[in-house]
Amino acid sequence: DTGVSQNPRHKITKRGQNVTFRCDPISEHNRLYWYRQTLGQGPEFLTYFQNEAQLEKSRLLSDRFSAERPKGSFSTLEIQRTEQGDSAMYLCASSLSLRMEGKLFFGSGTQLSVL
Amino acid sequence: AQKITQTQPGMFVQEKEAVTLDCTYDTSDPSYGLFWYKQPSSGEMIFLIYQGSYDQQNATEGRYSLNFQKARKSANLVISASQLGDSAMYFCAMRGQNDYKLSFGAGTTVTVRA
């Protein structure tokens, strides 16, 4: 068990470019979450996968954002035509249990800076 | 929808003293869970403690305890015997009974002074 892994740790891009982040959850975890966190704020939910099915998407997830989880293993989050407002920390989390007390295990995040 | 409010943006505490972090919540779900996470400067969110809405006793995990007052809709975190390594941002979060996700508050920054 190596924990939740996210790559890259940091990404600097120019406005208008596309970026893709990767998340590798804990191997036996079938539930995967993406959150976005801006400086000084709490994480905001973006989307949720159960195995390969994307079951919930936040209204924060505009058409420029797409997430996938092929084969129910790793997940990718792509942002097209990046804007300066997309600058944030993108956190991935996974869990095994959907019981009320099922905690989320988080990765260290990908810090995106859009210039 | 769940709403979490943390009104203390930052707190200072002397090493070895206790500190209480406030958290109030709002939900229409009859059953829910409350969580506290720690986020050091490295960025990773670390789970600290969990309280279920129907749990009879307040949760404790080592130096962490949760002061749960259901009627007031508050779930304050108490850190006893503060250590320098406790300096971090702390988030209160909750999950309703039909929720997949956790909803987080804005967080409280704790700085422990030697």
Distance CA A105, CA B75 (A): 21
Please answer yes or no on whether B45 and A41 come within 8 Å at the CB atom. Answer: no
**Is the minimum CB–CB distance between A36 and chain B shorter than 8 Å?**
no
Quick one: pLDDT at residue A71?
A: 86
**How far, in whole angstroms, is CA A25 from its chain's centroid?**
11
Mean pLDDT of A88-111: 90
Q: Do B47 and A50 touch (CB under 8 A)?
A: no
Q: What is the pLDDT of residues B60-107, one digit of tens each?
A: 999 999 999 999 999 999 999 999 999 999 999 999 988 889 999 999
Distance CA A55, CA A35 (A): 15
* Cβ-nearest to A100 among B4, B31, B44: B31
What is the nearest CA distance from A34 to chain B, expressed in angstroms? 10
Is the pLDDT score of B34 beyond 90? Answer: yes
Considering CB atoms only, which of B4, B100, B104 is closest to A98? B100
pLDDT at A1: 53
Average pLDDT over residues A86-105: 90
Residue B68: CA count within 13 A, CB half-sphere: 23
Average the pLDDT over A47-54 and give the result. 94
Determine the pLDDT at residue A60.
82
Tell me which amino acid residue B63 is.
R
State the pLDDT confidence band at A68, using cuts at 50, 70 and 90. Answer: very high
Contact B104 A50 (CB under 8 A): no
Contacts of A44 in chain B (CB under 8 A): 104
Instruction: Tell me which DSSP letter residue A80 carries.
Output: S
Q: What is the pLDDT of residue A72?
A: 86
> Which residue in B101, B103, B109 has the most chain A C-beta atoms within 10 A of its own C-beta, making it the best mutation to test that interface?
B101
Q: If you average pLDDT over residues A30-44, what whole number do you get?
A: 94
Picking from A59, A95, A57, A75, the residue whose alpha carbon sits closest to that of residue A21 is A75
Chain A residues close to B95, C-beta within 8 Å = 100
CB of A69 within 8 Å of a chain B CB? The answer is no
Q: Mean pLDDT over all residues of chain B?
A: 95
Average pLDDT estimate for B10-21: 96
A25 touches chain B (CB under 8 A): no
The answer on pLDDT for A39 being more than 80 is: yes
The pLDDT of residue B32: 94
